[in-house]
C-alpha cells in the first residue's frame, strides 16, 4: 500500500525584507520554503549560522528552532506548508536542519505565479495556489533524492511499512476539536482498544495520544501564526479544555507560551 503524503499550504508571498526580518527565536511545527534574490539573509540554528544562498531553493523542516537574520534589503519568496503523513517524530529524527537543494533556480522564475498575480488582479487564485503547491512538491521530491543514504533507508522503511492508518491520520486532522481518545480512535479503526494502541505505535512511531496532541499543537501554532483568532477560541476549537491547560501544554512542547509564540512568528 502506497503511503499518503498531503501538502497543505498555509501561506505564501513575495516580499521585500530588511534588517527587521525575524529576530525572535522560535520553532514551528510546519515546513518553510525560501528563495531569495540576493545574499544577505541567514538563519541562526543550533549549530551556528545557515546562510540563505540566492537563487537556490531552501527547505526548513518543521520543528527546527531558528532565528531569522538579515543584513540588507532583498526580495524574498516564501511558502509555509504542513506535510501530513510524516509524523513529528520522523521529521525530527531525519530532517534535523535546513537544506539547500542542489539545482540552481532564478528568483523571478520561482516567484512568477505571485508576481503575475500581483500585476493581474484577475488571475485565478486557485491556479496560483496550484502553481505554488507544485513548486513545493517538486522541491520535496528533490530533497528526498538528495538525502544521505542512511536517511533514505529510514524513509524507505517508512514507505514499506504498515499504512492501514493513513485514513485515520486524515480523520484525526479533520476532527481535532472532537473527542479523540484511544477508545474513539480504536472504534474508527474497527479494532479493540489494546490492539489499536499496539498497532498504531508500531506503524506511526508514536502513541495515539502523543500523535493527536502533536497535531493539535501544530494546528494551534498555524492559527496563532496566520489568523487573528483569540487564544481562547483557538484552544477551544482544537480540542483543549481551557486556555490554562492549552498554554501549559503548548509551552512544554514549543518552549514558549502561545502569546509569545504569536509575537515571535509575526
Do 75 and 16 reside in the same domain of the chain?
yes
Q: In the prediction, which pLDDT does 1 show?
A: 46
Angle subtended by helix axes 208-226 and 243-254, to nearest 10: 100
Residue 1 resides in a domain? no
Residue 195 resides in a domain? yes
Q: What does each C-alpha distance from 208 to 104, 175, 182, 184, 194 come to in angstroms?
A: 41, 14, 7, 11, 11
Residue 187 resides in a domain? yes
Q: Provide the pLDDT confidence category of residue 162 given band limits of 50, 70 and 90.
A: low
Rounded-to-10 torsion of CA 133, 139, 145, 147: -120
Do 171 and 145 reside in the same domain of the chain?
no
Higher pLDDT, 154 or 110: 110
- The structural domain count of the chain equals 2
Do 39 and 92 reside in the same domain of the chain?
yes
Do 147 and 210 reside in the same domain of the chain?
no
Residue 49 resides in a domain? yes
Q: Which of 2-6, 112-116, 227-231, 252-256 has the lowest mean pLDDT?
A: 2-6
Residue 161 resides in a domain? no
Question: Average pLDDT over the chain, rounded to whole?
Answer: 90
Rounded CA separation 160/2 (Å):
8
- Domain end, chosen from 134, 156, 178, is at 156
Do 107 and 183 reside in the same domain of the chain?
no
Do 18 and 127 reside in the same domain of the chain?
yes
Residue 224 resides in a domain? yes
Residue 194 resides in a domain? yes
Do 141 and 51 reside in the same domain of the chain?
yes
Q: Provide the pLDDT confidence category of residue 209 given band limits of 50, 70 and 90.
A: very high
8-state DSSP, 46: T
16 within 8 A of 74, measured Cβ to Cβ: yes
> Sign (positive/negative) of CA torsion 217, 221, 224, 229?
negative
Helix (H) or strand (E) holding 144, with range, is helix 125-146
User: What range does the domain containing 246 cover?
Assistant: 166-265
54-63, 92-101, 160-169: which is most confident: 54-63
Q: Provide the pLDDT confidence category of residue 117 given band limits of 50, 70 and 90.
A: confident
Do 151 and 172 reside in the same domain of the chain?
no
The residue-averaged pLDDT of 202-222 equals 91
pTM: 0.85
32 within 8 A of 59, measured Cβ to Cβ: yes
Do 121 and 15 reside in the same domain of the chain?
yes
Do 181 and 142 reside in the same domain of the chain?
no
CATH of the domain at 23: 2.60.120.10
Do 100 and 18 reside in the same domain of the chain?
yes
Q: In the prediction, which pLDDT does 124 show?
A: 82
The residue-averaged pLDDT of 66-94 equals 90
CATH of the domain at 247: 1.10.10.60
Residue 120 resides in a domain? yes
- Domain end, chosen from 130, 156, 182, is at 156
Q: Provide the pLDDT confidence category of residue 24 given band limits of 50, 70 and 90.
A: confident
- Domain end, chosen from 109, 134, 156, is at 156
Do 137 and 207 reside in the same domain of the chain?
no
85 within 8 A of 166, measured Cβ to Cβ: yes
Amino acid at each position: 500500500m502506497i503511503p499518503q503524503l498531503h501538502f497543505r499550504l498555509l501561506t505564501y508571498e513575495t516580499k521585500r525584507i530588511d534588517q527587521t526580518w525575524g529576530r525572535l527565536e522560535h520553532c514551528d511545527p510546519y515546513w518553510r520554503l525560501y528563495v531569495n534574490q540576493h545574499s544577505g539573509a541567514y538563519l541562526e540554528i543550533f549549530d551556528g549560522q545557515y546562510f540563505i544562498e540566492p537563487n537556490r531553493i531552501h527547505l526548513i523542516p518543521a520543528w527546527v528552532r531558528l532565528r531569522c537574520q538579515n543584513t540588507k534589503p532583498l526580495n524574498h519568496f516564501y511558502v509555509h506548508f504542513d506535510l501530513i503523513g510524516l509524523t513529528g517524530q520522523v521529521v525530527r529524527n531525519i530532517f534535523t536542519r535546513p537544506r539547500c537543494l542542489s539545482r540552481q533556480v532564478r528568483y523571478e522564475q520561482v516567484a512568477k505565479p505571485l508576481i503575475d498575480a500581483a500585476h493581474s488582479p484577475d488571475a485565478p487564485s486557485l491556479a496560483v495556489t496550484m502553481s505554488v503547491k507544485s513548486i513545493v512538491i517538486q522541491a520535496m521530491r528533490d530533497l528526498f533524492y538528495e538525502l544521505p543514504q542512511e536517511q533514505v533507508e529510514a524513509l524507505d522503511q517508512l514507505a514499506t511499512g504498515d499504512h492501514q492508518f493513513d485514513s485515520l491520520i486524515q480523520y484525526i486532522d479533520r476532527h481535532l476539536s472532537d473527542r479523540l481518545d484511544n477508545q474513539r480512535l480504536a472504534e474508527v479503526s474497527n479494532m479493540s482498544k489494546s490492539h489499536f494502541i499496539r498497532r498504531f505505535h508500531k506503524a506511526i512511531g508514536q502513541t495515539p495520544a502523543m500523535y493527536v496532541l502533536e497535531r493539535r499543537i501544530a494546528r494551534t501554532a498555524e492559527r496563532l501564526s496566520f489568523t487573528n483568532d483569540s487564544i481562547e477560541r483557538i484552544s477551544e476549537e482544537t480540542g483543549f479544555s481551557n486556555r490554562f491547560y492549552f498554554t501549559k501544554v503548548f509551552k512544554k512542547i514549543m518552549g514558549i507560551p502561545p502569546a509569545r509564540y504569536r509575537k515571535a512568528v509575526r
